[in-house]
Amino acid sequence: MDEQKLTNIAELGEFGLIDHLTKDIKLTQKSTVAGVGDDAAVLKTGGRKYMLVSTDLLIEGVHFDMAYTPLKHLGYKSAIVNFSDMAAMNGVPTQIVVGLGISAKYTLEAIEEFYAGIKKACELYKVDFVGGDTSSSLHGLFISVTVIGEVEKDKITYRKGAKPSDILCVTGDLGGAYMGLLLLEREKKVFRANPDMQPDMEGREYILERQLKPEARTDMVRKLKEKGVVPTAMIDISDGLASEALHLAKSSDAGVVIHEEHIPIDHVTFDTAREFSIVPAVAALNGGEDYELLFTIDQKDYEKIKEMPGISIIGYITEAAEGNRLITSDNQQIELTAQGWDALKKQKSKPF
């Protein structure tokens, strides 16, 4: 018998694995509008709105480090990253369900802190915490959050839908979460070398919050609605600007062009990147965990959004044959590639 060749999952990476496992899934329920391939599944409810459903898995040692992550912040972030998926569909979250795998090192008081963070996020975003499950874990903390949301049928936005000449926009600023992570990792190493040393984080509160306590941009969903703008395609930035731009392009069977000089970067992020000898734009393109919204609009909506605070126009969509390009600050054109965090690939450094 021929010996079967086995494939290491690390060779595929997260997105390759998802594509491989889901390529033959067929949808049979009339209530299912869209399944795998976007930020959330889309279900019919019989009314004027669609139901949105999404889930995320967070694992200690892979997605978070308890050496510098307060449990209340972790609970808050666990909810927010799922709320962000709803915003990416141009919708809002309405309910969440939380599952936990808890190892023996965690006390009741510790888990209460974690739940306090989830409850705070639900309070601020007006989301109902409606259930979940708990189990024991042999190692660390495992968190599974499923979020349910809703979106008006005529406002729903998928990753597909961008077309040549559409304008590429992004909310907020980028790279801060990654630089916050690098700062925390540096101070962790310093502490391990000398526990008497105090952390040097003065003036870096902004990037620390971007990493430890991000926000979902449901506010921008509301503001776009007020302006009468429905994006042609949208995704949230969890794995870095470059990665998400490539997802939009691939899903839309199009190409994308990003201008480096138009990428929004906060001054604290910029200065910290320079301190770490990192090009600030590289942190924005490949860092991840900013949870801002990357979206495209038709040119006819340009006048509506050009003066909107918190939105930057960073590029445009092209024909697929033109490829995916980054126009550098010195006007050089290079291929746009994604080097962001992939939890299933072998990494040379800490996760983004």
Residues 155-163: what's their mean pLDDT? 95
pLDDT band at 350 (very low <50, low <70, confident <90, very high): very low
- Predicted confidence (pLDDT) at residue 340 exceeds the cutoff of 80: no
CATH of domain 167-335: 3.90.650.10
Give the pLDDT of residue 339. Answer: 73
Beta-carbon count within 10 A of 111 CB:
16
Tokens of 331: 């006007």
Give the pLDDT of residue 125. Answer: 98
Q: What are the structural domain ranges in the chain?
A: 31-152, 167-335
Residues 200-226: what's their mean pLDDT? 95
Range in 35-44, 153-162, 174-183 with the lowest mean pLDDT: 35-44
Strand 254-259, strand 325-327: pairing: parallel
- Predicted confidence (pLDDT) at residue 167 exceeds the cutoff of 70: yes
Query: With contact defined as beta carbons under 8 Å apart, do 283 and 181 qualify?
Result: no
pLDDT tens per residue across span 29-82: 676 777 666 778 999 988 899 999 999 999 999 899 999 999 999 999 999 999
pTM value surpassing 0.75:
yes
Give the pLDDT of residue 198. Answer: 75
Beta-carbon count within 10 A of 230 CB:
19
Residues 326-347: what's their mean pLDDT? 76
- Predicted confidence (pLDDT) at residue 342 exceeds the cutoff of 60: no
Residue whose token pair is 């910290």: 272
Collapsing DSSP to helix, strand or coil, 172 comes out as coil
Check whether domain 31-152 has CATH 3.30.1330.10, yes or no: yes
Give the pLDDT of residue 14. Answer: 57
DSSP state of 300: G
Let me know how long the chain is.
352
pLDDT band at 2 (very low <50, low <70, confident <90, very high): low
Give the list of residues 6+ apart from residue 344 with CB closer than 8 angstroms, or none.
Answer: 9, 10, 12, 13, 14, 17
What CA–CA distance (Å, rounded) separates 14 from 10? 8
What CA–CA distance (Å, rounded) separates 152 from 11? 39
Residue type, 324: N
Give the pLDDT of residue 40. Answer: 83
pLDDT tens per residue across span 232-258: 999 999 999 999 999 999 999 999 999
Residue type, 347: Q
Say what percent of the chain tops pLDDT 70.
88
58: nearest Cα among 38, 78, 30, 73: 78
Tokens of 72: 């209340």
Give the pLDDT of residue 200. Answer: 75
pLDDT tens per residue across span 15-25: 565 555 556 66
Give the list of residues 6+ apart from residue 234 with CB closer than 8 angstroms, or none.
Answer: 88, 89, 90, 157, 158, 159, 248, 293, 294, 295, 296
Say what percent of the chain tops pLDDT 90.
76
pLDDT tens per residue across span 117-146: 999 999 999 999 999 999 999 889 999 999
**Strand ranges for 6-126 from DSSP E:** 32-34, 41-44, 49-59, 92-102
Strand 167-171, strand 293-297: pairing: antiparallel
Give the pLDDT of residue 21. Answer: 59
- Predicted confidence (pLDDT) at residue 348 exceeds the cutoff of 60: no
